[in-house]
Amino acid sequence: MTYIVNDNCIACKYTDCVEVCPVDCFYEGENMLVIHPDECIDCGVCEPECPADAIRPDTEPDMEKWVEFNRKYSEMWPVIITKKDQLPNAEEMDGKEGKMDLFSEAPGEGG
């Protein structure tokens, strides 16, 4: 099992999760985070830390696409281990439909 970040993180990018991760397996894109599925140790401490409920176990239905999505971008983006401010409209964007239209492949700063 591993944990993944889904599209509800897009345009929110809360980083509460990265502070609690014991193995530093979060990676930062311009407007979301992902988890490297091969580095995640399945401890689950990140899941309750996400205000947007964007972190889910891969054992839930239809998670295969998110495992591959997280894998792809974790190999392209820099690692993030330090909590940062969420994106400016995070509260407004939390739970919005169609957020994949807002997704950016650009890397974040990491750190």
Q: What is the CATH number of the domain that holds 46?
A: 3.30.70.20
Whether residue 23 is contained in a domain is answered as: yes
Whether residue 25 is contained in a domain is answered as: yes
Whether residue 26 is contained in a domain is answered as: yes
Domain around 34? 3-84
Q: Phi-psi category of 26—alpha, beta or left, where left has phi over 0 and alpha has psi -120 to 50?
A: beta
**Number of folded domains in the chain?**
1
Whether residue 92 is contained in a domain is answered as: no
Instruction: Return the SS3 of 12.
Output: coil
Note whether 33 and 88 are within 8 A (CB): no
The runs of H, that is alpha helices, within the chain are 16-20, 64-74, 90-93
Note whether 3 and 55 are within 8 A (CB): yes
- Cα angle at 24 between 111 and 6, to 5 degrees? 90
In tens digits, the chain (111 residues) has pLDDT values of: 899 999 999 999 999 999 999 999 999 999 999 999 999 999 999 999 999 999 999 999 999 999 999 999 999 999 999 999 999 999 999 999 999 999 999 999 999
Whether residue 111 is contained in a domain is answered as: no
What's the pTM value of the predicted model, to 2 decimals?
0.96
Count of beta carbons in the 10 Å neighbourhood of residue 81: 14
